[in-house]
Amino acid sequence: MGWLTGEKQAGQMDKTGLPRHVAVIMDGNGRWAQRRALPRSAGHRAGAENFRRIATYCKDLGIEYLTVYAFSTENWKRPSEEVGGIMSLLRKYLIESVETMARDRIRLRFLGDTSVLGGELRELIVRTDEISAKLGADCFQANICLNYGGRDEIVRAARAFAAQCAAGEKQPQELTEADFARYLYSAGLPDPELLIRPGGELRISNFLLWQCAYSEIYVTDTLWPDFDEAAMDQALSWYRARDRRFGGLSKKQER
């Protein structure tokens, strides 16, 4: 990469045709640590640092939303020490964010059932929500999926809608896809055009099941802590070359 090959250096990305919303399954932290004979916690620490790096990069590129999978409804099955370590990293990140997000003009939003989290974490989420609300809608927004599951999100939305039907406030036959989306954690967000999965696994892992219906899916063997700006440039270049048909025909096929 560089002047010899004619490729652009990371950070000199052509900003046309970029997605508005990028979603990332931050996978591979454990393997990253294992390869260095480090504990898994070191991998998550490197993963959290990388979230900061990639969020900053997305913001600089003019991408509007970055949504990451930090902790799934299934991740509670991991050893309590690992779960506690991830929660501590989130706490640390939020304490720092309260200080810096207004200055850096970064809004944060949490998607998932945060009601079961520890008190301090919940208070920090309330605090970052307050700061985010004061920042304009033109600011970059990072969405952190925490105690999030795609199926859980859809079931909760269905329950909320059913309750309104039972109360006589809504009519089942009047529900549209756009209406239903307003019951999801992601209400108001555009769907991600690009879903990135580092770590090489070819699955969606219960992430944004509704929202990724037409997302372009980019999988790379690079592990999340190693997924740097140059790796992001590659994913974005790949995305730009995609022919997005949404079940229809491409311009070429129409002729």
The yes-or-no answer on residue 138 being catalytic is no
Cβ closest to ligand FPP, residue 74 vs residue 243: 74
Q: How far apart are CA 16 and CA 151, in angstroms?
A: 34
β-strands 106-111, 194-198 pairing: unpaired
Measuring CA to CA, how many Å separate 146 from each of 60, 104, 131?
25, 22, 19
Cβ closest to ligand FPP, residue 30 vs residue 150: 30
The yes-or-no answer on residue 60 being catalytic is no
147 by DSSP, 3-state: which?
strand
Q: What residue is closest to ligand FPP based on CB?
A: 30
- Residues with Cβ within 8 Å of residue 91, at least 6 apart in sequence: 120, 121, 124
Minimum Å gap between C-beta 209 and ligand FPP is 18
Minimum Å gap between C-beta 86 and ligand FPP is 5
Minimum Å gap between C-beta 204 and ligand FPP is 14
CA-nearest of 143, 123, 133 to 184 is 143
Cβ closest to ligand FPP, residue 77 vs residue 255: 77
Residues that bind ligand FPP (CB under 6 A): 26-31, 44, 47-48, 51, 68, 70, 75, 86, 89-90, 93, 144, 199
CA-nearest of 181, 196, 220, 152 to 21 is 196
Q: How far apart are CA 131 and CA 102, in angstroms?
A: 7
Minimum Å gap between C-beta 254 and ligand FPP is 41
The full DSSP string for 42-77 is HHHHHHHHHHHHHHHHHHHHT--EEEEEEEETTGGG
Pick the catalytic residue: 14, 27, 60, 221?
A: 27
Both tokens of 34, joined, read: 């294992």
Cβ closest to ligand FPP, residue 27 vs residue 153: 27
Both tokens of 120, joined, read: 């301090």
Pick the catalytic residue: 14, 29, 50, 75?
A: 75
Minimum Å gap between C-beta 243 and ligand FPP is 31
- Residues with Cβ within 8 Å of residue 45, at least 6 apart in sequence: 89
Cβ closest to ligand FPP, residue 19 vs residue 47: 47
Minimum Å gap between C-beta 32 and ligand FPP is 7
Catalytic residues: 27, 75
